[in-house]
C-alpha cells in the first residue's frame, strides 16, 4: 500500500491510477483510430508513458505499435 504520513500523523493515501481504458471498453488499439491514438500523445507527438496513461502493459505495447504504424503511414 502506498501511503505517506501527514505532519499531524494522519495517513494520506495516494490517488489510485485509472483502470486501463482499453480493458474497460473491451477494445484494442488500432492504427486507424486516430482520435483515440492522439489521446495518448503529448502536444509534441511523443507517446505518453504507462505511468501517466494508466494503461496495462499489454495495451501500452499495442498502443505504441499502433502509433508507430500510423506514423509510418503518415496518419499522425
Domains and CATH numbers, the chain: 18-72 (4.10.640.10)
Please tell me the pTM assigned to this model.
0.74
18-27 long-range CB contacts below 8 Å, 24 or more apart? Answer: 18/54, 19/54, 20/54, 20/55, 20/56, 20/59, 21/53, 21/54, 21/55, 21/59, 22/55, 22/56, 22/59, 22/62, 22/63, 23/56, 23/59
- For the cut 60, the answer to whether the pLDDT of residue 73 exceeds it is yes
- Give pLDDT tens digits for 14-64: 665 568 999 999 999 999 999 999 999 999 999 999 989 999 999 999 999
Kindly tell me if the per-residue pLDDT of 2 is higher than 60. Answer: no
- What pLDDT, on the 0 to 100 scale, is given for residue 47? 96
The residue that leads in pLDDT, 10 or 28, is 28
Amino acid at each position: 500500500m502506498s501511503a505517506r504520513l501527514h505532519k499531524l500523523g494522519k495517513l494520506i493515501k495516494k490517488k489510485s491510477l485509472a483502470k486501463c481504458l482499453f480493458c474497460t471498453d473491451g477494445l484494442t488499439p488500432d492504427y486507424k483510430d486516430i482520435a483515440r491514438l492522439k489521446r495518448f500523445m503529448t502536444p509534441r507527438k511523443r507517446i505518453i508513458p504507462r505511468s501517466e496513461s494508466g494503461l496495462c502493459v499489454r495495451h501500452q505495447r499495442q498502443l505504441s505499435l499502433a502509433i508507430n504504424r500510423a506514423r509510418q503511414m503518415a496518419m499522425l
